Chains A and B, each alone.
Chain A
Amino acid sequence: MSRIFDRRDFLKLSGAAAALAAAGCATTSQKARVVVIGGGFGGATAAKYIRMWDPAIEVVMVERANIFTSCPISNLVLGGSKTMEDIRHSYDGLRRHGVQVVNDEATAVDAEKKLVKLENGGELKYDRLIVSPGIDFMFDQITGYEAAMKTNRVLHAWKAGAQTIELQKQLAAMKDGGVFVLSVPLAPYRCPPGPYERACQVASYFKKTKPRSKVLILDANPDVTSKGPLFKKAWAELYPGMIEFRGNSKAVGVDAQTGTVKLEVEDVRGDVLNVVPPQRAGDIAVKAGLITANNRWCGVDWRTMESAAVKGVHVLGDATLSAPLMPKSGAMANQHAKICASAVVAMINGQAPNPEPKIANTCYSFVSDGEAIHVASVHTWDDKDKTLKTVPGSGGVSSARNAMEAGYAWAWAVNVWQDTLG
């Protein structure tokens, strides 16, 4: 058992961290403290499952937002069949599991002293740290992006929240006959089918309210990166003539004045510009020295999710250097978190972690307000290549879009929110 807290630490703390430390003081019988940075699908699930599987471990989760906003289903807010209210969820469920939720921003990690520094002052000491920071954007890859973003002339809406609301507003204000430009970065990026689902949802909205409008997808990839044939069939049959797809069309600049997205060889004008920039692991992963690949992603040991760079620190979700054929998705982050929770509980209790973890993924996309499609995969530990690999013969996509899958898709969302936060 390790020491988690002492008087000296207490005197260094202030604000929320101090209040928390005071609570921690009363529970020094806890066998260890795990700090989780980030309350998305990865961080929240890890926090909950560690408490479920060993209630003697103290879990502190640091999250800058005071409410969870789900990226899955956020495209339906743009389509108009769901509201922001539907995708927002409280952290109270985690509190009922005994997770201490600290509403603050983690600004630095001192892995030697095992400390997390918080923006509003104070530090949190940990025995093991879990970093689930999601993504941040590489705005510098697209000339003029940051300037255009300041005036909302360009949006990413690739983190659900204020940008989702703004994009919805701009779509509502757009004239009938306008062009919605959706620019997709080179893979890997968060949620491979997300852009194509968004194209469907915006088209679904246009079809009802401004039927002369167009959706133009400028994709840096040569072709649709996920569920391609199913999406293309849906575009052709549900929104004929409305959605245009252009592959090998990487955005390199944005001009706010002229309302254009600059490709390598031409400029494309649009009325609403939704340019999703290239991405990397969230800022705190950079600051904590967790980036190991292409200056973008965090390598991990998939048996424990422990960082390949920093001992005692685990990384989850979109921030990881993805295993082969593993999408960056909320569903995968939820599954990473369970590998991590199991390993962290074992390690703290002096046991060996599960030597061959196996996780499954099911990811739905709504092609309209009433029909959905899915992709599924099973990922298992491969001892030879030391990574998670898909099981040959398993997984696949929907045979066809249909209403039954839409029912499952919405239930999936309700259930994964509950499994993550409830």
Chain B
Amino acid sequence: MRIALVCAAAIVAVAPLAVSAQERNTGRDLAASCAMCHGTDGRGAVGYEPLAGMAKADLVRKFTEFRSGVKPATVMHQISKGYTDPQIEQIAAYFAAQKR
């Protein structure tokens, strides 16, 4: 009984995070592109903003502000125009889930 309860709790904890392998990998693959400048998984880079552990809403906001030109940039205004809203969401979700 006790074991069953523990299992049930575990399932509840995991369920909201469950996504298909493909969905998960799409965000991961898109985010991998950023790693060249921002560090592998958004960690450990010098001179560029660390992305690992950034709140999803913050990253989405910054990315879309680069894209609209609200936020000044040297490169990101050009890169960000290559990404759609859903892609930005996926990238932000991936980095938000990474340990700082």
Tell which of B25, B28, B30, B40 touches A422, judged by Cβ atoms closer than 8 Å. B40
Describe B's contact surface by its main secondary structure. Answer: helix
- Residues on B with beta carbons closer than 8 Å to the beta carbon of A394: 78-82
Interface string of B71-100 (1 = CB under 8 A from A): 000110011111100010000000000000
Q: Are B37 and A415 in contact (CB under 8 A)?
A: yes
Interface string of A115-133 (1 = CB under 8 A from B): 0000000000000000000
Task: Tell me whether A67 is interfacial, beta carbon within 8 Å.
Answer: no
Q: Are A338 and B32 in contact (CB under 8 A)?
A: yes
List residues 25-51 of chain B with CB under 8 A from any CB of chain A: 25-26, 28-30, 32-40, 44-48
- Residues on A with beta carbons closer than 8 Å to the beta carbon of B79: 360, 362, 376, 378, 394-395
Q: Are B25 and A374 in contact (CB under 8 A)?
A: no
Task: Tell me whether A70 is interfacial, beta carbon within 8 Å.
Answer: no
Number of interface residues of A (CB under 8 A): 44
List residues 45-80 of chain B with CB under 8 A from any CB of chain A: 45-48, 74-75, 78-80
Task: Tell me whether A412 is interfacial, beta carbon within 8 Å.
Answer: yes
Query: If A338-B32, A404-B74 touch, does A415 touch B39 (CB 8 Å cutoff)?
Result: yes
User: Could you say which interface size class chain B belongs to?
Assistant: 20 to 34
Q: Are A374 and B33 in contact (CB under 8 A)?
A: no
Task: Tell me whether B21 is interfacial, beta carbon within 8 Å.
Answer: yes
Tell which of B21, B36, B37 touches A351, judged by Cβ atoms closer than 8 Å. B21
Tell which of B44, B46, B48, B78 touches A376, judged by Cβ atoms closer than 8 Å. B78
In the docked arrangement, what's the CA distance between A412 and B37, Å? 5
In the docked arrangement, what's the CA distance between A22 and B87, Å? 44
11 more A-B contacts (CB under 8 A) besides A394-B78, A394-B82, A419-B35?
Answer: A342-B28, A352-B22, A360-B79, A374-B74, A376-B75, A376-B78, A395-B78, A395-B79, A411-B48, A415-B47, A418-B45
> What residues of chain A have their CB less than 8 Å away from a CB belonging to chain B?
48-49, 52-53, 331, 334-335, 338-339, 342, 346, 351-352, 354, 357-360, 362, 374, 376-378, 380, 390-391, 393-396, 398, 404-405, 407-408, 410-412, 414-416, 418-419, 422
10 nearest CB pairs, A to B: A378-B82, A411-B47, A394-B82, A391-B82, A394-B81, A338-B32, A396-B78, A415-B45, A376-B78, A360-B33
